[in-house]
Structure 1
Amino acid sequence: MKKILITGAAGQLGSELRDLYKERTDVTTFFLDREQLALDDTASIKEGLKEYNPDFIIHGAGYTAVDRAESEIELADKVNHLASGEIAKYCAAYGAKLIAISTDYVFDGNSSSPLKEDAEVNPINIYGETKLKGEQAILRYCPESIIIRTAWVYSTYGNNFVKTMLRLMNERNEISVINDQIGSPTYARDLAQTIVGIIDSGSWNSGIYHYSNEGEISWYDFAVAIKEIKNLECTIHAIPTTAYPTPAKRPKFSLLNKSKIKDTYAITVPYWRDSLVEMLNKISL
């Protein structure tokens, strides 16, 4: 029986994976959060993983507070970079297969066409920098790993843009949302199903892959769709990034090209609005 260990158990992706695996009797899963595996205590990671002796590790945990990372550089680096390196070292030493989650923030946002896996990386914030270093450490210590870069993740679990918009639109008559950052959102359940599918396929093709839902939108478009689907009354104003300064810079364009993962694993990627409808229907149940 395959043993699968998931880091970031309480996160959006970890929670969706838990739902997908809970009915399965053909695999054993271990869901670890900070208590069971402290990623900021890098010295303890190897021994911590040895307890479980997994065949696969889905490394979904990370330091994801993008703005706070600008002032918590050391902590972000430990969790996103050094811990990823330790997990990769463990996998190389003990023969476990690693799927690690990375981000569109490894790019600077200056592209105008969907980004392929070999596009030039050039992060413009600390979060993106630490995630890129994590990718590099994984590929250095365990080149057989799979890394999946994703973007704009949301779910019925955890905190995310969709839930924030629902709350604000119910509280206020009008809100402003940025309209000049372009990408595509990712419903964490779709990503989780893709990961489960890769492991189930029995076919292991290492390397970097891109995954987000299909389509191309701005955060403003995303907010308008949420409003329309939920029939909310709130007025939404489109504003430029310059009108909403944040400690960390965001890439202006980070639309991911998904051809590689679709071709390699015969995956159908859902359209962003269809997935949003599905998630919003779940939240209202």
Structure 2
Amino acid sequence: MGKILVTGANGQLGSELRKLSNQLNKYEWIFTDYQELDLCDLKNLEISIAKINPQIIINCAAHTAVDKAESEVELSDVLNHQSVAVMAKWSHSNDCKLIHISTDYVFDGTASTALTESALTGPINVYGVTKLAGEKACMEENPYAIIIRTSWVYSSFGNNFVKTMSRLMQERDSLSVVNDQIGSPTYAADLAQAIVTILTHETWQAGIYHFSNEGEVSWYEFALAIQENGGFDCLVSGIPSSAYPTPARRPQYSLLDKTKIKNTFGVVVPDYKVSLARCMELLKEA
């Protein structure tokens, strides 16, 4: 029985993959977080992966604290770039398939139409810079890898915008949310399903792909959809990014074009409102 190694297994995407793993039960799934597989230990990383000897690696691990990354540059580079190079090199040498998860933050945010995979990159924060370096290292070390860029990830697991907004809308009378950053949310369960679809597809087509839910919204509009779904009685106002300064700059526009992943693998991309309702239903039951 072949093995699938999932890194960052306790994160949002890793947790959703765990739920879907029975769809691919011809493989033994190995779920690791930093306790079981320390990606920062670059010297021993190759040895550790070789011991597991997977046929497929799904790298969900990353330093995703975007604001913290501005002051944790070295850690961010090790997790988002250098460890990816090691995994890509090992997978290429050992005939192992690699799916690596990247981000819309590799773009500068100056576009005005949905970004295709060939759109020019130009990250504007440390997180984006290290993730782009990871993409490049991945493709250099293993040209047969698949990279999936995603955006605004949320889930019933972990900490995310949907859970934070739901909580704050119940605690407060009013909230202000940024209204000039445009993109699309991604329900991690949908991304996990897309990955399973790719793994079960008859052909492996290497390259970069985009995945987020359908819809073009600002964070403010996304917050309104969360409010509507939860029936929360809270005044939600839109504010410009300039009124909410953060250590890391965010792209103003990073809507991803999903045409390629749909056409290549037959991946189904649900509308963000449909997926949001599914996630919030799970949160109500929790």
Match of 2:97 in 1: 97
1:270 maps to 270
Q: Which amino acid aligns with 2:174?
A: E
The answer for the alignment partner of 1:216 in structure 2 is: 216
Distance 1:86 1:187 in 2: 29
Could you tell me how far 1:193 is from its partner in structure 2? 0.4
Deviations 1:17-39 (A, max 9, x none): 00001465322100010011111
The secondary structure found in structure 2 opposite 1:81 is helix
Aligned residue for 2:223, secondary structure, equals: helix
| Residue 248 of structure 1: how far off its partner (Å) | 0.1
Structure 1 pair 246–273 and aligned structure 2 pair: CA distance change class (3 A): same
Q: Name 1:169's counterpart in structure 2.
A: 169
Partner residue of 2:27? 27
TM-score, normalised with respect to structure 2 = 0.98
CA distance in 1, matches of 2:52, 2:274: 38
Q: Distance in 1 between matches of 2:32 and 2:230?
A: 34
Report the counterpart of residue 193 of structure 1 in structure 2: 193
C-alpha distance in structure 2 between counterparts of 1:2 and 1:271, whole Å = 34
What is the letter of the counterpart of residue 152 of structure 1? Answer: W
- What's the Cα RMSD here? 0.8
- The normalised TM-score by structure 1 is 0.99
* Contact 2:194–2:268 (8 Å) recurs in 1: no
> What CA distance in whole angstroms lies between the structure 1 residues aligned with 2:140 and 2:24?
33
Alignment correspondent of 2:87: 87
- For 2:21 and 2:92, the matched residues in 1 are separated by 25
CA distance in 2, matches of 1:93, 1:61: 21
State the aligned residue count: 285
Q: Kindly state the Cα deviation for residue 202 of structure 1 after the two structures are TM-superposed.
A: 3.2
Q: Report the equivalent of 1:245.
A: 245
2:107 matched residue in structure 1: 107
SS of alignment partner, residue 282 of structure 1: helix
Which amino acid letter does the alignment assign opposite residue 237 of structure 1?
S
- Number of the residue aligned with 2:6: 6
Q: Which runs of 5+ in 2 are unaligned?
A: none
Percent of residue pairs identical: 53
1:119 aligns with: 119
Q: What secondary structure does 2:28 align onto?
A: strand
**Rounded Cα–Cα distance in structure 2 between residues aligned with 1:3 and 1:43:** 23
Match of 2:258 in 1: 258
Which amino acid in structure 1 is aligned with residue 147 of structure 2? I
- Distance (whole Å) between structure 1 residues aligned to residue 151 and residue 139 of structure 2: 21
Deviations 1:9-61 (A, max 9, x none): 10000000000014653221000100111111111110110111111000010
**SS of the counterpart of 2:237?**
strand
Q: Distance in 1 between matches of 2:72 and 2:21?
A: 34
Q: Distance in 2 between matches of 1:193 and 1:23?
A: 10
User: How far apart in 2 are the matches of 1:25 and 1:207?
Assistant: 26
In structure 1, runs of 5+ residues without a counterpart are: none
Alpha-carbon distance between aligned partners in 2 of 1:25 and 1:144, rounded to the nearest angstrom: 24
Letter in 2 for 1:245: P
Alpha-carbon spacing, 1:91–1:24, altered in 2? closer, same or farther (3 Å): closer
What is the alpha-carbon distance in structure 1 between the residues aligned to residue 22 and residue 284 of structure 2?
Answer: 22
| Letter of the structure 2 residue corresponding to residue 230 of structure 1 | G
Correspondence for 1:128: 128
SS of 1:263's partner is: helix
What residue number does 1:151 align with? 151
Structure 2 residue matching 1:76: 3-state secondary structure: helix
1:112 aligned counterpart, secondary structure: coil
Q: 1:37 and 1:139 mapped to 2: Cα distance?
A: 22
Following superposition, the deviation at residue 135 of structure 1 comes to 0.3
Q: Deviations along 1:186-215, whole A, 9 cap, x unmatched?
A: 000000000011111131000000000001
The answer (yes or no) to whether the contact 2:17–2:192 under 8 Å persists in 1 is yes
